[in-house]
Amino acid sequence: MQKKIIYEIKSLYRDHFRVNGYEFGDGKKSVCIVGSTRGNEIQQLYICSQLVKAFKLLEQENRIKEGHRILIIPAVNPYSLNIKKRFWPTDNTDINRMFPGYNLGETTQRIAAGVFDVIKEYTYGMQFTSFYTPGKFTPHIRMMKAGFENTDLAKKFGMPYVVLRNTRPYDTTTLNYNWQIWETHAFSIYTTTTSQIDKESAQTAIRSILNFLSKENIVEYHGHEGYVSLVVEDTDMVPVRTKSAGIFESLVKAGDEIYRGQLLGQITDPYEGEITEQLYSPVDGMVFFAHDEPLTYADAAVYKLVAHEKV
């Protein structure tokens, strides 16, 4: 293993800003794994730390196939992690909306450019990322429909679901999209949590990566092969939206099987204490996403369901 500084900014008043990487094996640039780009992505940081530990052992046991180089970057935004702020501390910009970056631009543009210059030529790119709304997911692989996606490759992870979604204008500045433009097979990996550590779903993610690399003949790994992945379109998911704001109580969690008409959650008036709304499932299926904050807005998608049959 080699520990490398991927990108560094000198600081006058505190320790320098450094993006560290851990490199295993040698030869062609085969796999790059990126963890936290935001300051609340603790689960993503934790998973990468456990992958570093796993690849140390694989390297010691000569189970990384010859001619393959693997790079793990646990955190792209350590300053924000230090103070538990989701975005860049000084101007609240999102590094994962700055790719491919600009080395003469704002600080986050320079960080994105410095990191991307190192990682843009890998065959496979895997990013542990988080959603823009608070909640918990069923573990899955997410891919943008940018014209380069390959669902057959994504199934090799053995995650329960592979989710395809249409590209939006702001996606063109994400790491995943720019990896694809540079002809890297890019995958966004979601586990259950973001700001809290969930060891069970973290282990699911670690096994999924080792499964994938084993099937691509990059590492030698013999373990549980995971699930036969179901490919779903993001637009096919059934949202359950609130009509009113208030205190939110969920009665189900991500991964639960549910039936049509089942009570999923309820909203309580924050001033008067009366239940103002009850949320029922419109389909038979499975809870893919569940909101997990105690408050909710009106017209918020607090659940996303995968129906057993298309509706």
Whichever domain contains 289, its CATH number is 2.40.50.100
Count of structural domains within the chain: 2
pLDDT of residue 311: 60
Residue 116 and residue 69 in one domain: yes
Residue 50 and residue 112 in one domain: yes
Residue 100 and residue 216 in one domain: yes
The residue from 232, 262, 290 where one domain ends is 232
Mean pLDDT of the chain: 95
The residue from 190, 209, 232 where one domain ends is 232
Whichever domain contains 196, its CATH number is 3.40.630.10
Question: pLDDT of 144-174, one tens digit each?
Answer: 988 888 999 999 999 999 999 999 888 999 9
Residue 242 and residue 210 in one domain: no
Residue 63 and residue 192 in one domain: yes
Residue 296 and residue 212 in one domain: no
Residue 172 and residue 99 in one domain: yes
3-class SS string, the chain: CEEEEEEEECCCCCCCEEEEEEEEECCEEEEEEEEECCCCCHHHHHHHHHHHHHHHHHHHCCCECCCEEEEEEEECCHHHHHHCCCCCCCCCCCHHHCCCCCCCCCHHHHHHHHHHHHHCCCCEEEEECCCCCCCEECCEEEEEECCCCCHHHHHCCCCCEEEEEECCHHHHHCHHHHHHHCCCEEEEEECCCCCCCCHHHHHHHHHHHHHHHHHCCCECCCCCCCCCCEEEEHHHCEEEECCCCEEEEECCCCCCEECCCCEEEEEECCCCCCEEEEEECCCCEEEEEECCCCEECCCCEEEEEEECCCC
Residue 206 and residue 267 in one domain: no
- Domain of 55 in residue numbering reads as 2-232
Mean pLDDT of the region 224-234: 88
pLDDT of residue 281: 98
Residue 142 and residue 264 in one domain: no
Question: pLDDT of 126-141, one tens digit each?
Answer: 999 998 888 999 999 9
Residue 77 and residue 124 in one domain: yes
Mean pLDDT of the region 203-219: 96
The residue from 187, 206, 232 where one domain ends is 232
